[in-house]
Amino acid sequence: GAGVSQSPRYKVAKRGQDVALRCDPISGHVSLFWYQQALGQGPEFLTYFQNEAQLDKSGLPSDRFFAERPEGSVSTLKIQRTQQEDSAVYLCASSLENRGLAGTDTQYFGPGTRLTVL
């Protein structure tokens, strides 16, 4: 079946602009994660949804970052008033998270959105 998809793949924004990044998880996956990956670094956690509930947003770097998953499937990460330090690849991951089945917590990643803020 289809994997995790993200759009756009590349986004260039001028400093101060708002951007919206979309994630389509694997169909039926309960959990959805957003990570931020700076150039040459490992991904860092931003936020986590279980269905439509945002259970953990401890990694969001500022109140300019906002994420939603209103119907428990597609998610959008919004960054307001972008700054140069927001330039990074934003990765989305999903997992089935059926606690009765081993291995269903494996996170499957999308290709990422590369955001460049000028």
- Candidates 10-18, 51-59, 67-75, 80-88 — which segment interacts with other proteins by CB under 8 A? 51-59
Q: Are 56 and 116 in contact (CB under 8 A)?
A: no
User: Rule CB under 8 A: is residue 107 a binding residue for other proteins?
Assistant: yes
* For other proteins, the closer CB: 2 or 14: 2
User: Rule CB under 8 A: is residue 33 a binding residue for other proteins?
Assistant: yes
Nearest CA among 89, 76, 85 for reference residue 19: 76
Token pair for 100: 């009765």
User: Rule CB under 8 A: is residue 59 a binding residue for other proteins?
Assistant: yes
Determine which helix (DSSP H) or strand (DSSP E) holds 33, and give its type and residue range: strand 31-37
**DSSP-derived 3-state class of residue 12:** strand
CA atoms within 13 A on the CB side of 59: 18
* For other proteins, the closer CB: 8 or 16: 8
User: Rule CB under 8 A: is residue 100 a binding residue for other proteins?
Assistant: no
Give CA–CA dist 68/74, Å, rounded. Answer: 9
User: Rule CB under 8 A: is residue 111 a binding residue for other proteins?
Assistant: yes
Sites of contact with other proteins (CB under 8 A): 3, 31, 33, 35, 40-45, 48, 55-56, 59, 89, 91, 93, 97, 103, 105-112
